[in-house]
A and B are shown apart, each in its own frame.
Chain A
């Protein structure tokens, strides 16, 4: 049931909100949810590189966690190619940026 006696409806219908204010609130809340990029140390970086190389050479499936400002993003599959020049790698025909890799797990 949804009328004035339930939920937050009474307060939602009585308030005075400028649409611009409302939008600013939502934008602000969204900005709080932006994830920070993890800082990797050299050893961590080394582990990631080695895992990608192994996957490429021995066709081992990996779960590769990537950085994304809003959502949790991971790639599951075998690395098909690594392009050192452009700093990218390919899984299942799609190119991804090497610098965005945060963590790698073996399947």
Chain B
């Protein structure tokens, strides 16, 4: 049976949430922007009025203010956006139980089984969802519809976001007259670099990509080539899977440093903090990891450096000191000594902590007891109630990070 899948996207999500919370700004240009003091001082979301002045997301606050001096700048409140996003999920859930959040402002809905309640009228159902979300949260959503996820996504990005009703359906058998005439750059998963590669082999529109022999694409890009070909032809068998977020494959944290760190002495501090954080989360969830991975990105954009390396441990662990030692070992081996902009630590190969091989030789039991105690103190009195002394030195980030979600203020 033909599925009916929707991708619902919230227009200027963060900015709209703030506008609903501050009705006095209803008719003024509003942007949500990260901390101007730090690198994160960029525009995260701009309301439609601000966009009409030419303000775009991801530009710096300075650039935005130059275009529109009367701009209302609001600090992000990530916790609130998560709450509203969940509220919207529950509204979608009242229409279908198959809802899969794809990001904070985009969610997939499989409405195949709900359509009969609307006499099979997809447009009517989409309008009802759109209306309900607007009424309950004040957020305007745009809905792309198709017989699978990729068609829904492309219907939303290329059409629903641009038309009046905010609803558009891509028909699988009519791609020739719709999607295929668009340039390849507007296809999902095709970025700037891929566009260049495709143009070089004479592919300029999605239609040309769809009609390129699969073998040619497979030879050049392997599985990724086949993915592109399938998407251009509107083929995608992935399910809309509500439970997709339950499985935990790895626990990792990543941060952009407030300035470029140049010495190992400095880098050690946030690496220690990230290791602590990762292990703290692992302990809370009852997972031990067997693989420690470190990511490091250099500071120079024009000459990208950095590495992502991992190391398998002899036994699963979530003891911070053990993880940190491994992290430093990897860092020693692979860091080229150039300034660093961002770092990340993750723990993968997760296993339950309910069954553990005790070891005669390793002395981590005591250390673990200490770490569990600090976990309890943190859970009760807040993340900053107890921390390492290095965290209050200049390179330390723990205090700042405790107030943030996704690098922006809670």
Name A's B-contacting residues (CB within 8 A).
3-12, 14-22, 24-26, 28-29
Contact = CB atoms under 8 A, between A and B. Distances in A.
A80 B180 CA distance: 76
A85 B13 CA distance: 57
Interface stretch (B99-107, B157-165, B313-321, B347-355): B99-107
B405 interface: yes
Which 10 pairs, one residue from A and one from B, show the smallest C-beta to C-beta distance?
A: A16-B103, A18-B406, A8-B238, A22-B245, A20-B405, A15-B102, A21-B82, A8-B241, A25-B245, A4-B223
Interface of B: 78-79, 82-83, 85-86, 89-90, 100-104, 108, 149, 189, 223-224, 226-227, 230, 236-239, 241-246, 281, 405-406
Contacts of B78: 18, 20
B406 A24 contact: no
Given A11-B149, A25-B89, A18 B82 contact: yes
Contacts of A4: 223-224, 227
B405 A18 contact: yes
The binding surface of chain A is classed by DSSP as: helix
B219 to A, nearest CB: 16
A104 to B, nearest CB: 33
24 contacts: A3-B223, A4-B224, A4-B227, A5-B226, A5-B227, A8-B238, A8-B239, A10-B238, A11-B238, A15-B102, A16-B104, A17-B101, A17-B104, A18-B82, A18-B104, A20-B82, A21-B85, A22-B245, A24-B86, A25-B101, A26-B246, A28-B90, A29-B242, A29-B243
Contacts of B244: 8, 11-12
A25 B86 contact: yes
A22 B241 CA distance: 14
A99 to B, nearest CB: 30
Given A3-B223, A18-B104, 20 more contacts: A5-B227, A6-B237, A7-B238, A8-B244, A10-B227, A10-B238, A11-B108, A11-B149, A11-B244, A12-B244, A15-B103, A17-B102, A17-B103, A18-B405, A20-B82, A20-B405, A21-B82, A21-B101, A25-B86, A26-B245
Nearest to A22: B245
Contacts of B246: 26, 29
B82 A24 contact: yes
A71 to B, nearest CB: 17
Nearest to A28: B86
Contacts of B149: 11
A16 B103 CA distance: 5
Contacts of A18: 78, 82, 104, 405-406
A103 to B, nearest CB: 28
Among A3, A9, A20, chain B packs the most CB atoms within 10 A around the CB of A20
A8 B102 CA distance: 12
B66 to A, nearest CB: 28
Contacts of B236: 10
Contacts of B239: 7-8
A64 B108 CA distance: 43
Contacts of B237: 6
Contacts of B243: 29
Nearest to B284: A23
A5 B223 contact: yes
Contacts of A7: 238-239
A18 B237 CA distance: 25
Nearest to B406: A18
A15 B103 CA distance: 6
B102 A11 contact: yes
Contacts of A19: 281
Contacts of B406: 18, 20
Contacts of B230: 5
Nearest to B281: A19
A13 to B, nearest CB: 10
Contacts of B238: 7-11
B157 to A, nearest CB: 13
Contacts of A24: 82-83, 86
Contacts of A17: 101-104, 245
A22 B249 CA distance: 13
Contacts of A9: 238
A3 B238 CA distance: 12
A31 to B, nearest CB: 11
B382 to A, nearest CB: 16
Nearest to A23: B245
Nearest to B252: A19
Among A5, A11, A16, A20, chain B packs the most CB atoms within 10 A around the CB of A11
Contacts of B101: 17, 21, 25
Among B90, B102, B239, chain A packs the most CB atoms within 10 A around the CB of B102
